[in-house]
Structure 1
């Protein structure tokens, strides 16, 4: 007689239970130690699609023109006037502290105290100028008056100095490597130093410090992510209550929670062993692993308790449950794993790390909840309620729900489902790619970071949302009138695009300087046709200005946008491409993009490109695993169709709630499908067995409900309630993920117990045996 693989595993594991438990203990001790070594790990380059054409341009020219990984510090006087000694002492202190923080590109630190912050004025003999703050500056009334005059001459009001003279800016760019250690720059350490060495040291009395930039944003996200520990504790408590209400046993409540926590510890230990850290944006994954583990643990407990109720010993019940649930549970967890792995197709480092983190976690659940848990249950004393009480609880509800598998109710269900799907599909077409709100999307608008962002955008003429279009041309192109005129026409086109506040380039500076040489007459605000005059107009613009490189073969046009909303970015990108097509040539090439909005544009395009392939991979994997497990096209359809309906409705929900498809929300769709398939697989595994035994669809579904229905319901509710606590998070992206996951966990469960039997009623047409 041929013995199945499941039976061989059952015999091998349960014959050597003590040895298996010893292996689990030893492995757990090792992974506990490794888990203590894991640390938060954030990096700017992980958040961008490095292979995107925009990012190749960005990386190519980052050394000359800076990147998007910048720090902006606005030092403000609450009295509304910066011209006092206390303010300038604070501003110089901030400049010096920032300059000496390891990882700051000192060449690109810019403020009123930077030597390259200069003014130029027209005098009788031509031009004169110098540093805005003279070398012998003293914060006296006379010295401050001189500085104020120099600021006005330098034309930096609105960029380095606030429009109303209430604040002044210190700007810097960050390196990828810490020059002191040679290691990758620790973004979280930078954020901590910005808080402790700058804000805490210099913010006092009338001086306020406002800091924005990727490093500070990630630091604030990491700070908010510490609240995940509270949510984790709350989830454990909620889960414990739900599982206890299900099984009425403290011992049976403890075991699945313990095994799920073991899976989380193994996950963290494995990540540390493989050299991975835990990014603040993926710190929620261990919570999901715990929730998934408990959901499968409930199925195992449900099966063991029911087998003990019919007279088996706990040891025999645990062994039989292992044999029965190994295939459906393994297929469900493999579907989860493959669903997570499909995220590797998205060329963004942080999503790839999330995929690896989640996949490792689910792989651990296969070991802890399908092997460790039944072995532990085999040693557990289990009390069950009387059979009469069980049937009273079950019969009324299950009999009503079993009617979903008859053609009358099934027809109504499928008609309503079709209408919902059609509406959801139509409305879901309005789903936007990218961020839809102002400020840092990971944080609430009320957060300190976003309030700092709003203050800076309100008080300065420039926007923190800017994008650089890089013009690649020939050497010394800035002395060629035709090339400079082409750049000027491009800038004019972009300044007239909706969403663009202003623009600056070497050509626009050249026009201003040329007018200055002609007594400031606006008629002379043109690019000089004479080459010598053109050279004169750009001679005083250094390469450190960020408007040209050393040989003048590359010149950016910097576009300041109203915001970074998806619609604004798409409008500007389309306008850039149209203008580049009209004005570009072999000699003058317009390349997208650098700056923070350039990074966002590349990320949005990468997300848009990955959306369809990712969904195809997820559903392809789920379909393949279902076909291998059930060996039935009909069985596969009744599992997959409800999933697809729920995915479509989730996109409709995103449009209703104004949630864009971003780096943080795109993975949720894959997670929802991967985890949502579990319900259908568990129900259908019992239905398939009963159908093959000769039951009709109604009776087969009724049997599945009696065996698995309560576990499926409690699992869906537990998962949904657990992630619903995220609604109260300090992190906006966690709130969005919580809303979407709550919806998908709950509605996928409902789809499995309502739509799946309705489809079965027609696909099997009440035949007794599945002959597909």
Structure 2
């Protein structure tokens, strides 16, 4: 079976698609999908071609720009209708002349890159009003825009976003960029490609983690054989996981590629517990086989409950209606299921065939170490009172500060990548060079056919646009209504007094007749007209403010004939994702804590035992939210799962410690005595697993991916602090929850 699953694992592929990253059942995304054929969506490509000398009007630049336009046009998966640049036939200029209007394509059919020809094009660009959108404000760059399809028309299969990114890099940037020309590419496909390239560094982190883990386990077991066993079993779990995913038809996206590392780390932590138990029992006179059997029986329930808690922590992520998170949940759950087989069953079987000396020792600290005596004092009521008071103060501060946690991205640029990344530097350049923002949202206006010939409808759209333009964070806005006002003024010698929506229907028809549906401002029968809002950034507070303003304005202006609907465009997707995350946050935590509580009740059959295990977890989760506010980390698609994972994995420490304590307490021992016994039995293993897990994920701090750095920080915190809470807060709670005559005062 291992050979087959290993082969299947080698066939697994990186899988990324735009729709996996959005909540498709959200009302905003239903609107987005409904109208994406007419107005495009958020899956766009922007390529800015810049001249190093700061002036695009030269033959070399226009030859390059034409080459970029043509290359992008013929990439499979690009919606050719929506490829737009100065070379697009739909990019036209209109000017007021003595007889009315005159116009044509910005690039004439007989264009030659001569001095005179370039001067003509420059004039046409200015007449077309595309400075700031297609051509940069300072005439140093020009843009080629395109939208991507969901299906590759050549193959009929789902578009391979990673292949598109590779083509953009190799066929566009590397082909046309030189010492005179720079090429800057942004868009979802390019961003995902850059993230996937950064995610390949996970392989290096995985190797480093294995090395660190091996060192830590060796320091614990003092044996190469006992070091290799849990590591080998954990690697087998990863191989089985990857093979199962491949067999089921799943791939790995840039976020779930981190999960095999977590599965390995979780496997090692449980493997260390098994090795610890076996060696301790051999030291008490049992044979290796008998010790393995006894350890299997002793750890099956606590280990099984701990791993079930891990699984539940992952499965609660299925409550979030975003494909990439749901696949992460499935990937992780399969991995933990494999650990149950490899580390709770396969590992003790393999150990039983080994010859382990009764003199073998595990842990750096002996059972009689003064350290355990000091730690055991945490279970005396005098010291426990101080611990619980300090914990309560931390909780109150964490709860208060955690209320300031923002949902969504808090920084400019692509949040998955560092600010210094090429992608974000390209984003900043485009934002700086062009008048329009790359952060835009389209509010879809649904009305009746031919509504653009109705004065009341157009006035309502114009009023809505005016309200939006006066919202903080909105740079500018454009709609069919605002363009028709400009055209109407053009018909009246450009007099700004005529920059109004005509009341006369024939005049209104005249003002919109020259605006094609390819402009993205109306559909074919004029029953849908978007209002495009260009925002200053995509920070959470900006999106929330604008979305609230849109909803308020829509509630005032909606009627039977017209309806304003959110949302399309990149910021529309972000708004829907933020709302999906916000809606899932509380239910997800209720599910994970509800499941952990239920499993603890089943395992220990005690409300007190459940409280002492779960309450420290809740405190640590609250402190993690405080940490996020301090470090300016928002609650996003990548950080929300960490909270659930931290709870699911963090409960392991408490379960292992309390399982040993519980047997002692039932035998009539005091809390102090029971806790000291648990420390001698499991303390070293709990410490080593907590530290090993934390050190392993701390390597993510050096990742090229910003979201992996954020996940690494949060997981390191939760692994360490949950371990400390199990050692410090759990016994302090136990000191007061068990009868006073069984606790040292």
Q: TM-score range by the shorter chain?
A: over 0.9
Instruction: Name 2:118's counterpart in structure 1.
Output: 144
1:608/1:387 CA distance change after superposition, 3 Å: closer
1:758 is aligned to 732
After TM superposition, give the deviation of residue 583 of structure 1 in Å. 1.4
Query: Which of 509, 528, 532 matches 2:483?
Result: 509
| Partners of 1:70 and 1:169 in 2: CA distance | 13
**Aligned-partner Cα distance in 1 for 2:297–2:176:** 66
Residue number in structure 1 paired with 2:92 = 118
Aligned ranges 1:131-210 → 2 under 5 Å: 131-210=105-184
The correspondence of residues 225-244 of structure 1 with structure 2, limited to 5 A, is 225-244=199-218
Counterparts of 2:14 and 2:370 in 1: how far apart (Å)?
51
Deviation of the 1:519 alpha carbon: 1.1
Distance 2:72 2:268 in 1: 48
The equivalent residue for 1:103 is 77
Q: What per-residue deviation string (whole Å, max 9, x for no partner) do you get for residues 434-455 of structure 1?
A: 0000000000000000000000
Is the aligned partner of 1:728 residue 2:666?
no
Residue in structure 2 matched with residue 409 of structure 1 by the alignment? 383
- Aligned pairs for 1:272-421 (under 5 A) are 272-383=246-357, 385=359, 392=366, 394-421=368-395
Contact 1:692–1:768 under 8 Å retained in 2: no
**CA distance in structure 1 between the aligned counterparts of 2:742 and 2:130, rounded to whole angstroms:** 82
1:543 counterpart = 2:517: yes
Change in 2 beyond 3 A, CA 1:664/1:386? closer
- Structure 1 match to 2:14: 40
What is the alpha-carbon distance in structure 2 between the residues aligned to residue 262 and residue 764 of structure 1?
42
Q: Deviations over 1:95-126 (max 9, x none)?
A: 11111111100010000110000000011111
Distance 2:368 2:493 in 1: 93
Question: What's the offset of the Cα at 1:385?
Answer: 4.3
- Per the alignment, do residues 39 and 704 of structure 1 end up closer, same or farther by CA in structure 2, a change over 3 Å counting? same
Out of 564, 570, 578, the position equivalent to 1:604 is: 578
1:529 counterpart = 2:503? yes
Match of 2:551 in 1: 577
Q: CA deviation at 1:584?
A: 1.5
Aligned position for 1:744: 718
Q: Whole-Å Cα distance in 2 between the matches of residues 451 and 141 of structure 1? A: 33
- Give the Cα separation in 1 of the matches to 2:309 and 2:373: 30
- Whether the 8 Å contact between 1:697 and 1:766 is mirrored in structure 2 is no
> How far apart are residue 384 of structure 1 and its match?
5.2
> How many Å separate the matches in 1 of 2:741 and 2:696?
40
SS at match of 2:89: coil
Distance 1:48 1:523, change over 3 A: same
Q: Given the superposition, is the C-alpha separation of residues 114 and 390 from structure 1 closer, same or farther in structure 2, using an over 3 Å criterion?
A: closer
Task: Please tell me whether the aligned partners of residues 260 and 369 of structure 1 are also in contact (alpha carbons under 8 angstroms).
Answer: yes
Tell me which residue corresponds to 2:673.
Answer: 699
Distance 2:357 2:498 in 1: 95
SS of alignment partner, residue 96 of structure 2: strand
Find 2:51's aligned residue among 54, 74, 77.
Answer: 77
Q: In 1, distance between residues paired with 2:307 and 2:394?
A: 29
Residues 392 and 44 (structure 1 numbering): CA distance in 2 closer, same or farther, change over 3 Å?
closer
Residues 283-319 of structure 1 deviation map (CA, whole Å, 9 limit, x = unaligned): 1000000000000000000001111111111111111
Q: Deviations over 1:245-298 (max 9, x none)?
A: 001101100110000000000110000010000011211000000000000000
The equivalent of 1:588 in structure 2 is: 562
Unaligned 5+ segments in structure 2 are: none
Deviations 1:461-483 (A, max 9, x none): 00000000000011111110111
CA pair 331-444 structure 1, distance change in 2 beyond 3 A: same
For residue 380 of structure 1, report the CA deviation from its aligned partner.
1.5
| 1:633-672 → structure 2 map (5 Å cutoff) | 633-672=607-646
Alignment-derived partner of residue 231 in structure 2:
257
Contact 2:5 2:240 survives alignment (8 Å): yes
For 1:385 and 1:201, the matched residues in 2 are separated by 67
1:248 match? 222
- 1:436 — aligned with what? 410
Distance in 1 of aligned mates of 2:546 and 2:357: 67
TM-score in terms of structure 2 length:
0.99
Cα contact 2:220–2:363 (8 A) shared by 1: no
Deviation at 1:765, TM superposition (A): 2.8
Q: Classify the secondary structure of the residue corresponding to 1:109.
A: strand
SS at match of 2:437: coil
Aligned twin of 1:673: 647
| 1:474 partnered with 2:448 | yes
> Is the 2:279–2:360 Cα contact (8 Å) retained in structure 1?
no
Is the 1:697–1:764 Cα contact (8 Å) retained in structure 2?
Answer: yes
Conserved 8 A contact 1:256-1:297: yes
TM-score by length of 1: 0.95
- Give the superposition deviation at 1:382: 1.9
Conserved? CA contact 2:51–2:181, under 8 Å: yes
How far apart are residue 391 of structure 1 and its match? 7.9
Q: 1:210 to 1:391 in 2, by over 3 A?
A: closer
Q: How many angstroms apart in 2 are the aligned matches of 1:750 and 1:388?
A: 20
Deviations for 1:321-362, whole angstroms, at most 9, x for unmatched residues?
A: 011000000000000001100000000000000000000000
Runs of 4+ in 1 over 3 A off after TM superposition: 383-394, 766-769
What is the match of residue 492 of structure 2? 518
1-side partners of 2:703 and 2:374: how far apart?
A: 39
Kindly report the root-mean-square deviation, in angstroms, between the aligned alpha carbons of the 2 structures: 1.2
State the number of aligned residues. 743
SS of 1:283's partner is helix
Q: Which residue of 2 aligns with 1:19?
A: none
C-alpha distance 49-388 of structure 1, shift in aligned 2 (>3 A) = closer
**CA 1:392–1:367: 2 relative to 1, 3 Å:** closer
Q: CA deviation at 1:136?
A: 1.2
SS of the counterpart of 1:468?
Answer: strand
The Cα shift of 1:387 comes to 8.2
Q: For residues 226 and 93 of structure 1, what CA distance do their matches in structure 2 show?
A: 31
Q: Structure 1 stretches of 5 or more lacking a match?
A: 1-26
The CA distance in 1 between the partners of 2:344 and 2:282, in whole Å, is 18
Contact 2:185–2:423 (CA under 8 A) maintained in structure 1: yes
CA distance in 2 between partners of 1:117 and 1:286 (Å): 49
Q: CA deviation at 1:92?
A: 0.6
Shift of 1:386: 7.3
